[in-house]
Amino acid sequence: MDDRKIFKVDAVIRPEKLDELKAKLRTIGVTGMTVSEVYGCGLTMGHTEIYRGSVMAVDLMPKIKVEIVIYETPLDTLIDAIREVCNTGHVGDGKIFVSELYTAVKIRTGEKGGIAIIDNKP
């Protein structure tokens, strides 16, 4: 195992940005990602919904969480790529949370550590 770190980057973004982000990540050599549907609240005060005359303040907005584990790709490149695509300048653009992984394993091969993330040769 080499001493580069494996980072897990969780980006909570606007749903409509997903397609663009996917395309962008491919260009910077990210080899995989895991996407899930989440609901978020932050500075955005949410929106109001109206059901039969009762106006409800809904503060949980649909967001998309993209989890990207990187090893070779530099963290800053990734963060910049995400910001480039997802930054609209309006409240609600989302956050990026970065943590360090202890290790990673590729289930198919059993490879452990950074090598598990390097996927460019099948």
Partner 1 sequence: MKLSILFPGTLAWALALPAAALAADDTAQELSAGDISYMCVATLLVLIMTPALGFFYGGLVRRKNTINTIMMSMVCLALITVQWFLFGYSLSFGPDAGGIIGNLDWAFFNGVGLEAFKDYSPTIPHVLFAMFQLAFAILTPAIVSGGIVERTRFPAYCLFVVLWGTLVYDPMAHMVWGLGGFIRDMGALDFAGGTVIHITSGFSALTAAVLIGARKGYGSLTLRPHNMPYVCLGGSFLWLGWFGFNSGAAVGATALTALALANTGIASCTAGLVWILLDRMVHGKMTTLGLMTGFVAGLVGITPAAGFVTVGSAFLIGITTPVICFFFVSYVKGRLGYDDSLDAFGCHGVGGVWGALMTGVLATKSVNDAGADGWLYGNAAQMIPQLTGIVTGIVLAVVMTAVIIKGLGLFMQVRATDAEEAQGLDLIDHGERAYNKM
Ligand X SMILES: Nc1ncnc2c1ncn2[C@@H]1O[C@H](COP(=O)(O)OP(=O)(O)O)[C@@H](O)[C@H]1O
Structure tokens at 35: 């996407």
**Is the separation of the CB atoms in 82 and 39 below 8 Å?**
no
**Is the separation of the CB atoms in 114 and 31 below 8 Å?**
no
Would you give the binding string for a copy of itself spanning residues 65-84, x where CB under 8 A is met?
A: x---x---------x--xx-
- 3-state SS assignment for residue 117: coil
Which residue among 52, 110, 114, 115 contacts a copy of itself (CB under 8 A)? 110
21 scored as a contact of ligand X (CB under 6 A): no
Which of 99, 100, 94 is closest to 38 using CA atoms? 94
- Binding range to ligand X, per CB under 6 A, among 17-25, 50-58, 75-83, 89-97: 89-97
Long-range contact set of residues 109-113: C-beta below 8 Å, sequence gap at least 24:
112/1, 113/1, 113/2, 113/6
6 scored as a contact of ligand X (CB under 6 A): no
Which residue among 33, 96, 101, 118 contacts ligand X (CB under 6 A)? 33
Would you give the binding string for partner 1 spanning residues 92-121, x where CB under 8 A is met?
A: ------------------------------
- DSSP assigned state of 27: H
Residues that bind ligand X (CB under 6 A): 12, 31-34, 40-44, 61, 63, 67-69, 91-95, 106-108, 117, 119
